[in-house]
Amino acid sequence: MSQAPGTTLDAAARYHETGWYAADFSLDHRSVSALRSRITALGEQRRPEVVQEKEGGATRAIHGCHAWDDLCAALVGLPELVGLAMSLLGGPVYTYQFKVNFKQPYEGAAWPWHQDYAFWQEEDGMPRPDAVNIAIALDHAHEGNGPLTVIPGSHRLGLLDLPASDTRTGDWRDHVSSDLAYTVSPDRAARLSAELGTELLVGPAGTVHAFHPSIVHSSTDNLSPDRRALLLITYNAVTNAPAAPARPDFLVSRDIAPVTPGADARLTLRQVR
Ligand code: SIN
Ligand code: MN
């Protein structure tokens, strides 16, 4: 099993206990600036992978741009990120999804309480939740700009509030807008939060967190003047690829070859602890 530099052996134990993990490395300032300029430009393109907010039309997210942008492609191969994913999943991984969620100042809309694995199981046929989200803050994520909020330990409860009958809409837009197709009810989320607490995944630009596909999470509207761009790479175990996914490639990658780790002179992760 590969060990990410600076990742202690108990990282996996802590991740599997709580469903999230704060990496002890962070992207440096120069790398953040390069990525920030790149994703800002990509977000201005008009193509299916670039999704707008329902209200106002600001760019909400970019999906799958590692497939057409060289800097994003280099990011997914960084040895520290691949090593962390492999440490947490226990074997080789491939890139299942790549996205940037923007949360523009004042306009960025909430993500209701949900579990990512509900989408990946129900829509794509992912066999097990043996994937991991690596979340990289490209802007300072703070209490005021709608940071990701997780309910620690909720990933161990399995999928919650799945509809009894088949609700597949066939429209992937229901998986990327503020009206998500699979949500955890507000009542249940309130009960779980009271029982298990909540954790805000905040930190300066460059901060890296990992979180489990089944953890219950949400984020609020961005009512602040600060953008909150969050880049999310989902690595999946190569043994856990869906057999016959139907959604577009930019939401569920067909390329299940293990990621080949490789450093890139434009992108540097530094130890922060
Ligand atoms: C967010 O960007 O706040 C939500 C991300 C997610 O649900 O994966
Ligand atoms: Mn999610």
| CA 268 to ligand 1 centroid distance, Å | 24
Q: How many angstroms separate the Cα of 263 from the Cα of each of 71, 120, 133, 237?
A: 12, 29, 20, 21
Profile the chain (273 residues) by mean pLDDT over runs of 10 residues: 54 96 98 98 97 94 98 98 97 98 97 97 96 98 98 98 73 74 96 98 98 98 98 98 95 97 98 92
**Topology of domain 9-166+174-239, per CATH?**
Jelly Rolls (2.60.120)
Residue 61 CA, closest ligand 1 atom number: 2
36: its two tokens:
């920030």
List the domain boundaries for the chain.
9-166+174-239
Residue 114 CA, closest ligand 1 atom number: 7
Ligand nearest the Cα of residue 149 is 1
Beta bridge partner(s), residue 207 = 26
Tell me the pTM: 0.95
Question: Is 148 near ligand 1, meaning CB less than 6 Å away?
Answer: yes
Please, which residues have CB within 8 angstroms of residue 265's CB and are 6 or more apart in sequence? none
State residue 103's pLDDT score. Answer: 97
The predicted pLDDT at position 169 comes to 61
232 C-beta closer than 6 A to ligand 1: yes
One DSSP character per residue, 172-196 reads: GGGGTSSS-SS---HHHHHHHHHHH
- Which residues, by Cβ under 5 Å, contact ligand 2, an ion? 116
Tokens of 200: 């805000």
Beta pairing class for 93-101 and 230-237:
antiparallel
268 lines ligand 1 (CB under 6 A): no
The count of C-alpha atoms lying within 13 angstroms of the C-alpha of 273, restricted to the half-sphere facing its C-beta, is 9
Ligand 1 close to Cβ of residue 219 (< 6 A): yes
What's residue 265's pLDDT? 98
* Token reading at 44: 């201005």
The two three-digit tokens of residue 113, written as one number: 């309480």
230 lines ligand 1 (CB under 6 A): yes
In this structure, the residue with its CA closest to atom 8 of ligand 1 is: 116
| Closest approach atom of ligand 1 to CA 111 | 4
Q: Give the pLDDT of residue 1.
A: 40
CB 100, CB 133: distance < 8 Å: no
The alpha carbon of 188 and the centre of ligand 2 are apart by a number of angstroms equal to: 17
For the chain, give the longest Cα–Cα distance. Answer: 50
How far is ligand 1, taken at its centre, from the CA of residue 134, in Å?
A: 11
| Residue among 214, 217, 218 to mutate when testing ligand 1 (max atoms within 8 A of CB) | 217
Distance 217 CA to ligand 2 centre (A): 7
Residue of 111, 214, 221 with the most ligand 1 atoms within 8 Å of its CB, for mutation: 111
Q: Are 102 and 43 in contact (CB under 8 A)?
A: yes
Ligand 1 within 6 A of CB of 111: yes
- The Å distance, Cα 265 to ligand 2 centre, comes to 30
Say what the pLDDT of residue 25 is: 98
CA angle 262–268–270, rounded 5-degree value: 120
- Secondary structure letter of residue 123 according to DSSP: I
